[in-house]
Chain A
Amino acid sequence: MPDSKEMLDQTLLEMRRRCLSLAADLDRLDRAGKNGSDPRLRQIRDALAVLLESTPNRVERILLIFSDKTPPPPHGKK
């Protein structure tokens, strides 16, 4: 297994590319007009906030941000 320095050496450019890609997406959305109340964009902002945290399991927490939280429909064998 590579250590964290080797891992960063290998992935830094790719991580930088992804940061810039998301920044460009947000800039493009801004240029297209105000859409701050769209709940999908709120989810994106919540997900970006998770990226800035220093606790583990970020992927799982971001997936849960994008998950339906309504209760299941009534079911059960008749």
Chain B
Amino acid sequence: MKLIDPHIHCISRTTDDYQFMARCGVVAVSEPAFWAGFDRSSASSFADYFRHLTDVEPARAAHYGIQHYSWLCINAKEAENVPLAREVIRLIPPLLDHPRVLGIGEIGLNKNTANEIMIFEEQVDLAADHDQLILIHTPHLQDKHKGTAIIVNILKNDRRIDPQRILIDHCEEHTIRMAREAGFWCGLTIYPQSKLTPERGVDILEQFGPDRLCVNSASDWGESGPHTLIDTLLEYRRRGHAEQDAAEIFYNNPCRFFGQCPKWKAKAEIRNPKPE
């Protein structure tokens, strides 16, 4: 089966991870801009980071037969520094035509502060002004429920926003309902220490169905790995679900969401269509 990891920070991963993904059938990934594990000292660090995301990592991935796409933004954590955030935002518009850039992301909130909310809204403006897809980061742990509610409320009340062009990521049992009921795509991140386990991810898939749901590993510099995507597929199969249903979740759905950007090449595939 062909697979897509719709959210992975390849900059933090080894070549072993690329080999592992290729061996497991991962044919494409998307990498949102995020916090590097430390606060960067200037906007020029982000200029280099964006070059890494748009030029270096796609070449690295291609070596393993994997298509690599990216998303650009100032992440929620460093958005607390408003002057730096605005400097970084000014770097983005000239890069939006890059053939590997799918949109603005992962924007969102970290500790749900007024500064983070202000910069989040400014990046929603950036996406709306340039007709870009948006990938949303929802906060961690105790901040997730409140932050997701703030984000959903802002986006629902913005008339420029088409919810089908936004994916709200890192949803869990207490936040997925509010994101789905507002019509957004949702991401399930299999990152057992702070987000979902494969078992809980499949529980959510069974309860909500595959429509507008994507599963990702969000592998980064923390305790994570591209194997969590595969573990979730194996758990889904272990419970007896059909291969076509698995293909919908692990390949077709990312193609449908990302495919709204014409730069995304892979197409959803329907196997064994039912006769009319």
A interface residue numbers (CB < 8 A to B): 1-2, 57, 59-60, 63-64, 66-70, 72-75, 77
Q: A1-B240, A59-B173, A60-B173 are in contact. Are A67 and B144 (CB under 8 A)?
A: yes
Q: Are A59 and B113 in touch, CB under 8 angstroms?
A: no
Q: Does B200 contact A (CB under 8 A)?
A: yes
Task: Kindly provide the distance from the CB of B121 to the nearest chain A CB, expressed in whole angstroms.
Answer: 6
- Bound form: Cα–Cα A66–B143 in Å: 9
Q: Does B142 contact A (CB under 8 A)?
A: yes
Residue of B whose beta carbon sits closest to that of A63: B174
**Listed residue (B117, B118, B174, B200) with the most chain A CB atoms within 10 angstroms of its CB:** B174
B-side contacts of A77, CB under 8 Å = 121
B-side contacts of A60, CB under 8 Å = 173-174
Q: Are A57 and B173 in touch, CB under 8 angstroms?
A: yes
- Bound form: Cα–Cα A68–B249 in Å: 31
Q: Are B173 and A70 in touch, CB under 8 angstroms?
A: no
Task: Kindly provide the distance from the CB of A43 to the nearest chain B CB, expressed in whole angstroms.
Answer: 9
Q: Are B172 and A63 in touch, CB under 8 angstroms?
A: yes
Q: Are A66 and B142 in touch, CB under 8 angstroms?
A: yes
Task: Kindly provide the distance from the CB of A35 to the nearest chain B CB, expressed in whole angstroms.
Answer: 19
B-side contacts of A2, CB under 8 Å = 239-240
Q: A2-B239, A59-B200, A73-B117 are in contact. Are A67 and B142 (CB under 8 A)?
A: yes
Q: A2-B239, A63-B145, A67-B145 are in contact. Are A72 and B150 (CB under 8 A)?
A: yes
The total number of A-B Cβ pairs within 8 Å is 49
Q: Are B117 and A67 in touch, CB under 8 angstroms?
A: no
Q: Are A73 and B114 in touch, CB under 8 angstroms?
A: yes
B-side contacts of A1, CB under 8 Å = 239-240
A-side contacts of B173, CB under 8 Å = 57, 59-60, 63
**Residues in B141-179 with C-beta less than 8 Å from chain A:** 141-146, 149-150, 172-174
Task: Kindly provide the distance from the CB of B179 to the nearest chain A CB, expressed in whole angstroms.
Answer: 14
Task: Kindly provide the distance from the CB of A1 to the nearest chain B CB, expressed in whole angstroms.
Answer: 5
- The 26 listed contacts between A and B (C-beta, < 8 Å) are A1-B239, A1-B240, A59-B174, A59-B200, A60-B174, A63-B144, A63-B172, A64-B145, A66-B141, A66-B142, A67-B143, A67-B146, A67-B174, A68-B142, A68-B143, A68-B145, A68-B146, A69-B146, A70-B146, A72-B117, A72-B149, A73-B112, A73-B117, A74-B114, A75-B117, A75-B150
Residue of A whose beta carbon sits closest to that of B176: A60
A-side contacts of B144, CB under 8 Å = 63, 67
**Residues in B166-205 with C-beta less than 8 Å from chain A:** 172-174, 200, 203
- Bound form: Cα–Cα A72–B113 in Å: 8
- Bound form: Cα–Cα A72–B150 in Å: 7
Interface residues as binary, B110-146 with A (CB distance below 8 Å gives 1, 0 otherwise): 0011100110010000000000000000000111111
